[in-house]
Amino acid sequence: MRRRTLTREEKALWAHIQRSVAPFPGRRLEPAPADPQPQRAAERVLSPSAHAVPSPSPPVFSPPPLVAMDRRALRKVKSGRRDIDGVLDLHGMTQSAAHDALNRFLHRKQREGASLVVVITGKGAGGSAFDPDRERGVLRRMAPHWLRMPDLRPLVLGFEAAAAHHGGDGALYVRLRRARGAFEP
* pLDDT, tens only, 97-122: 999 999 999 999 999 999 999 999 98
Query: Whole-prediction pTM value?
Result: 0.59
Comparing 28-37, 133-142, 174-183, the range with the smallest average pLDDT is: 28-37
Length of the chain: 185
Stretch 61-67: mean pLDDT, rounded?
74
- Alpha-carbon gap, residue 170 to 141, rounded angstroms: 10
Using CA atoms of 44, 47, 53, 57 in order, give the dihedral in degrees to the nearest 10. -50
Structural domains in the chain, CATH included, are: 8-46 (no CATH), 71-127+134-176 (3.30.1370.110)
In sequence order, which residues have a C-beta less than 8 Å from that of residue 117 and are 6 or more positions away? 84, 85, 86, 87, 88, 105, 106, 109, 173, 174, 176
pLDDT above 80: residue 50: no
Residue 135 confidence class, pLDDT cut points 50, 70, 90 = low
Q: DSSP string of 34-51? A: PPPPPPPHHHHHHSGGGG
Task: Identify the top-confidence range among 132-136, 161-165, 173-177, 178-182.
Answer: 173-177
